[in-house]
Amino acid sequence: MEISKTAILLLQDGRFFYGKNFGSDGETIGEVCFNTGMTGYQEILTDPSYCRQIVTMTSPHIGNYGVNLEDIESDRIQVAGFVIKEETITPSNWQSTQSIGDYLKEQNIVGIQAIDTRALTRHIRNHGAMNGIISTLDSNLESLKEKLSQVSSMSGQDLAKEVSCDNFYHYTKRKNYPYKIAAIDFGIKSNILRLLESYACDITVFPANVTSREILNFNPDGVFLSNGPGDPDAVKYGINTVKELLGKKPIFGICLGHQILALALGAKTFKLKFGHRGINHPVKNLNTGKIEITSQNHGFAVDLDSLPSNVSPTHVNLNDNTSAGIRCDELRAFSVQYHPESSPGPHDSRYLFERFIGMMRK
C-alpha cells in the first residue's frame, strides 16, 4: 500500500492545516472555497467555473462511487486543488472506472485530505474566501507565505478567456432541429449543451471573445450566455458584445452569463464574502411565489439596487436575499444566477429552458 506524504494547506491570512497528500505530488495555489454538495464531486472537479479555485468538500467521505466516463462537464479537471476529509480508496459503483485519487493523480491535480474540513469551512464563512496554497514539497510557512503573496485575488481577473474554446464549433449531432442557437462559451458545462439539444436546439458554440457582428452574421434564433469563472466585470469584451446584441436576438444567461447580461444592461456586480456553492440552495421565484431548490457555483453577484428601471428581479436567493434572476422584457433577455441544468443537483428549474424556447418561437 502506498504511504501518503504529508501535505499542508496555508491560507492567505496565516491559518494552516496539516494533512496527507491526495492525488498528485506538488504545489498549487488558488482561491479556497467550499461546496456543500454530498454528491457530484466529479462534475464539480470538471466544471470550468472552478478555474483557479481550490475546492473544499464539506461532505466527509468523497469518492464513494468512484469516477466514470459520463459525469464530466468538460474535457479535463478544472479545479486548482481539492480538499477533503477522507478519500474512499475502493469505490463501489457499476459505472466506476477508477478511484478519485487516481483520477486526480492522472491529471496532475494536487489535493489534501485528513484535515478538519469543518474548521476550514467555518473559517472561510467567517473570514471570506481567500487564496491558499497546498504543498507536498515545502512545509516552511514563511516560504509558502512568500509564494502566496505573488498571486492576485479573484477580483479583477478575467478567467473566461482561459477556459473558453479557441474557435467556434458545431455541437448538435442531429439535423433539422428548429431552433438555431449561438452559445457563447465563457466556461460552458457539457450538461447545458446536452439540455439545449434535448429541446431541439441546433447549437453552435462560440469563443468568449466573439464579436456581435460574428453572431449577427450567423443569424441565430437565440443567444445563450454560459457559466464561467472569475470576475464578470473583467470580461469587458463579453459585456460589449452582449450590449450590441440586446434587442436584436432573444438572450438567456446562466451564472457568469447572468452577471455579464446584468452588466450589459447597466447594473453592477460585487464579490460575495464566500460565495454560493452547493446543490440545495433555496431560491424564490418572485413571479410565482414558489421556492426552487437549486444548484449553485459562483463567487460574485448582481447588485439588486443597481438594476435599471427596465430590468426586473425574477428570483432571489433565500439564504442572503441576493439576486438569483433578472429579466428585461423590452429587450427579450433574461438570466439566472444558479444552474437550472443542475448536474449535479435538483431539476426544479429546467422550465427556464422552455421559456427560452418560447421566446424564440415568438
Residues 21-34 have pLDDT tens digits of 999 999 999 999 99
Do 131 and 172 fall into the same domain? no
Distance of CA 296 to the CA centre of its chain: 8
- End-of-domain residue from the set 92, 118, 149: 149
Predicted pLDDT at 4: 72
Domain residues for the domain of 211 are 160-361
Backbone angles phi, psi at 187, to 5 degrees: 135, 45
pLDDT tens digits, residue range 291-317? 999 999 999 999 999 999 999 999 999
Per-residue pLDDT tens, the chain, 362 aa: give them.
Answer: 455 789 999 999 999 999 999 999 999 999 999 999 999 999 999 999 999 999 999 999 999 999 998 899 999 999 999 999 999 999 999 999 999 999 999 999 999 999 999 999 999 999 999 999 999 999 999 999 999 999 999 999 999 999 999 999 999 988 889 999 999 999 999 999 999 999 999 999 999 999 999 999 999 999 999 999 999 999 999 999 999 999 999 999 999 999 999 999 999 999 999 999 999 999 999 999 999 999 999 999 999 999 999 999 999 999 999 999 999 999 999 999 999 998 888 888 889 999 999 999 98
Same domain, yes or no: 133 and 166: no
Catalytic residues: 255, 339, 341
DSSP-assigned letter for residue 60:
S
8-state DSSP, 114: S
- pTM for the full model? 0.96
Give the integer Cα–Cα distance in Å for 239 and 261: 7
- Statement to judge: residues 172 and 300 lie in one domain: yes
Q: How far, in Å, are 74, 181, 223, 243, 260 from residue 240 at the CA level?
A: 26, 19, 14, 5, 9
- Domain boundary at 102, 126, 149, which? 149
With contact defined as beta carbons under 8 Å apart, do 25 and 32 qualify?
no
- CATH number of the domain where residue 331 is located: 3.40.50.880
